[in-house]
Amino acid sequence: MTPRSLPALPDGVTVEELERLCIELASEAARFIREERPPRMGVAATKSTETDVVTVMDQRSEELLHRLIRQSRPDDGILGEEGADVTGTSGLTWVVDPIDGTVNYLYEIPAYAVSVAVVVGDTRSQGGWTPVAGAVADPCRRLVHHAGRGSGAWTSPEDPAEGVEPTRLSVSAEERLARTLLATGFGYAPDVRARQAEVLLRVLPLVRDIRRIGSAALDLVRVADGSVDAYAETGLNAWDLAAGWLVVEEAGGVVLGAGEGPGSAPGTALTVAAGPALVHQVRTLFVGPDGVTG
């Protein structure tokens, strides 16, 4: 897979500076959602369906990220899952998921993340944007997984004072579907879930096993560190995948969409991530002969 070249960056900012800022912001939001969770926290609102929930901490985490980004990079755009939508003038946009894996957070299942990415391009168009720096903070393990375009993918402690050196990430070398541990996920709409279940009927006998972790950002990190061999899901939004996309690519993996050209970029139609020898086999499981995804 030809590595994506680094697009021009504005105002002399460097990838290293953007990556460091992604780490700092994701870590601060991770500490916040871990340590400020109110007792007996419930559902604050629902979105696309009654199971697509928002908690007060999703909203407060995004408000925190929004404030920190405006302080550090006032000319950049911001796109957030809980409504942040700022058009910038710098050419850079921050794409944030303040709690990815909200249902797990609500049920206190330790599998949720804060995802913070900086992208160039038009986030409203499929294939029109690409991440240049990103961080996925895991509040439960007190770790931050991060990457800058061209600088590799790493896992660092959430607290730099621990003095632990970053660990470099590398995707699985698995090449056979029958030995593939595949992570996946499901949407919130019953009709979408029914279609995804039909795809799963076809896929399950062909792979080692599946894992449904409940956070796209953590699924992508697991591809990057090799703790799953591949990940595929339909229905994701930019904020679910922006940071994890870069972490996988910088760990030697490939992240694809459903089609060719602009459609080859990950997005709502399909997001597939794996090592180079496996990714196209996995995509074929999810894209039918007529090009329609599961």
Q: Site for ligand LIP (CB under 6 A): which residue of 27, 55, 61, 102?
A: 102
- For the bound state, the minimum distance from the C-beta of residue 57 to ligand LIP, rounded and expressed in Å, comes to 12
Q: Which of 45, 286, 82 is nearest to 185 (CA)?
A: 286
Phi and psi torsions of 222, nearest 5°: -70, -30
Using N-to-C axis directions, what is the helix angle for 190-203 and 279-286, rounded to 10°? 130
Q: Nearest 5 degrees, angle CA 136-CA 139-CA 142? A: 90
Distance between CA atoms of residues 203 and 185, nearest Å:
13
Binding mask 121-160 for ligand LIP (x = CB under 6 A): ----------------------------------------
Judged by beta carbon, residue 9 or residue 245, the one nearer ligand LIP is: 245
Residue 10: exposed, middle, or buried by beta-carbon count in 10 A (0-12, 13-18, 19+)?
middle
* Structure-token pair, residue 286: 């999810």
List binders of ligand LIP among 193-222 (CB under 6 A).
214-216
Q: What is the Cα gyration radius of the chain?
A: 18
Query: How many C-beta atoms lie closer than 10 Å to residue 59's C-beta?
Result: 17
Size of the site for ligand LIP (CB under 6 A): 13
Judged by beta carbon, residue 102 or residue 126, the one nearer ligand LIP is: 102
Judged by beta carbon, residue 13 or residue 56, the one nearer ligand LIP is: 56
Decide: is 259 part of the binding site for ligand LIP (CB under 6 A).
Answer: no
Decide: is 100 part of the binding site for ligand LIP (CB under 6 A).
Answer: yes
Decide: is 97 part of the binding site for ligand LIP (CB under 6 A).
Answer: yes
Decide: is 250 part of the binding site for ligand LIP (CB under 6 A).
Answer: no
The DSSP code for 253 is: -
Binding mask 47-86 for ligand LIP (x = CB under 6 A): ----------------------------------x-----
Q: Which of 245, 242, 267, 247 is nearest to 257 (CA)?
A: 267
Decide: is 115 part of the binding site for ligand LIP (CB under 6 A).
Answer: no
Decide: is 234 part of the binding site for ligand LIP (CB under 6 A).
Answer: no
Q: Which of 90, 91, 62 is nearest to 75 (CA)?
A: 90
Decide: is 249 part of the binding site for ligand LIP (CB under 6 A).
Answer: no
Which residue has its beta carbon closest to ligand LIP? 185
**Which residues of this chain interact with ligand LIP, rule CB under 6 A?**
81, 97, 100-102, 185-187, 214-216, 233, 240
